[in-house]
Amino acid sequence: MEKILEVENLHVTFTTYGGTVKAVRGVDFHLNEGETLAIVGESGCGKSVTSNAIMRLIPDPPGKITNGTILFKGENLAAFSEKKMRSIRGVDISMIFQDPMTALNPTLTIGTQLMEGLQEHRNVSGKEARKKAIEMMDLVGIPNPEERLKQYPHQFSGGMRQRIVIAIALICEPDLLIADEPTTALDVTIQAQILELFEKIQGTTGVSIILITHDLGVVAKIADRIAVMYAGKIIETGTKREIFYNPQHPYTQGLLNSVPRLDLAEERLTPIDGTPPDLFSPPDACPFAARCPYVMEVCDKVYPAKTELTGSHRVNCWLQDDRAKQLIAVK
Ligand SMILES: Nc1ncnc2c1ncn2[C@@H]1O[C@H](COP(=O)(O)OP(=O)(O)O)[C@@H](O)[C@H]1O
Ligand SMILES: [Mg+2]
């Protein structure tokens, strides 16, 4: 499998009056061509900062990518000029944000907004652009595209607006789509329809997708692999099956226990006690130690190295690391 994206040792900080926020602290992950990777974690753990860093949309100041590489088709986006990034955004890599209303311009017709990107980046005539816009509206499931091209965002429901945002993101046929909480603002039924749409689009176009969400339930259907993020780090990654059926990090287990499950007659939801650490001065050791039901002495002292459980499943947790036993024995 070809890797379309490889993020290595990514660090992003924000310098504020209150101090330096270490929002992303050494993130590593990759995305294979044509797959969907879900990045999951509680609010504030650095998911949006990670995706904005890939798009090079970190406001500087106060933000800065202080370390790391972001290899997209083998080229390091972290070293690209703003000019070069502008030719990539919306063309090779597109991003969809949480709120479909702010992503659309209320004063322009849907048709104009769909065709804008095409006309800017691809050398197409107005007629061709219109044809492609209609094709895209059709792909994302908007009925009567010819008529609806002439309408404005407020004439569409929330779910339909999100479909339009997706159509705009895809019109230049990007290879990578980053969707940051794309269904969080929508009600549950519409959420499911939008997730199905992502699956269908991937089937049709082969686009690789990074799906960011705080809700593991959302990814159950469409993710191929899952990366679990906590306090600016990825603490476990695996295939969907590995994460759902054999979660190894107590944080992943905690997230799973707080997802409503349809297959259990009796709903037992156990939220994780406590809150994530403050990212002004996160612990150098395991950031989950303070909330972990299995915490050991070593967990508060040293950050656990990565343990490879299978070719696809890895975790950073002392419970999985044989060296913890040796460290304990030494004491
Ligand atoms: N522009 C900014 N200035 C200062 N801190 C920021 C800024 N953007 C994000 N952060 C901080 O970075 C951390 C990670 O945020 P974020 O990536 O948005 O979390 P998530 O998307 O996982 O909910 C948070 O502590 C947040 O307050
Ligand atoms: Mg976010």
Q: Could you say which of 109, 142, 173 is where a domain stops?
A: 173
The CB of 22 under 6 Å from ligand 1? The reply is no
Of 267-271, 276-280, 327-331, minimum mean pLDDT range: 327-331
For residues 216 and 260, the answer to whether their CB atoms sit within 8 Å is: no
Q: How far apart are CA 47 and CA 24, in angstroms?
A: 8
**What is the mean pLDDT of the segment spanning 179-184?**
93
Ligand 2 centroid from CA 272, angstroms: 19
Same domain, 168 and 184: no
* Residue given tokens 């039901």 in the structure block: 293
Model confidence over 89-104: pLDDT tens digits?
Answer: 999 999 998 877 788 9
CA geometry: angle 43, 247, 265, nearest 5 deg: 85
**What is the mean pLDDT of the segment spanning 238-266?**
87
For residues 23 and 254, the answer to whether their CB atoms sit within 8 Å is: no
Same domain, 105 and 53: no
Q: Please name which ligand lies nearest the alpha carbon of 232.
A: 1
Model confidence over 104-151: pLDDT tens digits?
Answer: 999 999 999 999 989 989 889 999 999 999 999 999 999 999 999 999
pLDDT of residue 317: 97
Q: Could you say which of 115, 141, 173 is where a domain stops?
A: 173
For strand 176-180 and strand 93-96, is the pairing parallel, antiparallel, or unpaired? parallel
Q: How far apart are CA 305 and CA 308, in angstroms?
A: 10
Residue 223 belongs to some domain of the structure: yes
Residue 108 belongs to some domain of the structure: yes
Q: Quick one: tokens of 199? A: 């699956």
Q: Please name which ligand lies nearest the alpha carbon of 24.
A: 1
pLDDT of residue 123: 86
Model confidence over 201-235: pLDDT tens digits?
Answer: 999 999 999 999 999 988 988 999 999 999 999 99
Same domain, 77 and 181: yes
Model confidence over 226-249: pLDDT tens digits?
Answer: 999 999 999 999 999 999 999 999
Q: How far apart are CA 119 and CA 126, in angstroms?
A: 8
The parent domain of residue 168 ranges over: 100-173
For residues 209 and 179, the answer to whether their CB atoms sit within 8 Å is: yes
Nearest CA to ligand 1 atom 14: 46
Residue 11 belongs to some domain of the structure: yes
pLDDT of residue 331: 45
Ligand 1, residue 59: give the atom nearest the CA: 1
Structural domains in the chain (count): 2
The CB of 53 under 6 Å from ligand 1? The reply is no
Same domain, 109 and 208: no
Residue 296 belongs to some domain of the structure: no
Model confidence over 156-171: pLDDT tens digits?
Answer: 999 999 999 999 999 9
Q: Could you say which of 139, 173, 207 is where a domain stops?
A: 173
Nearest CA to ligand 1 atom 16: 46
Residue 235 maps to which CATH number? 3.40.50.300
Residue 294 belongs to some domain of the structure: no
Query: How many CB atoms sit inside 10 A of residue 283's CB?
Result: 16
Residue 265: pLDDT over 90: no
pLDDT of residue 267: 61
Nearest CA to ligand 1 atom 24: 44
Ligand 1 centroid from CA 46, angstroms: 6
Residue 70 belongs to some domain of the structure: yes
Beta bridge partners of 36: 209
Same domain, 189 and 59: yes
The CB of 23 under 6 Å from ligand 1? The reply is yes
Residue with the bigger pLDDT between 49 and 330: it is: 49
Among 205, 235, 237, 234, which Cα is nearest to 223's? 237
pLDDT of residue 328: 59
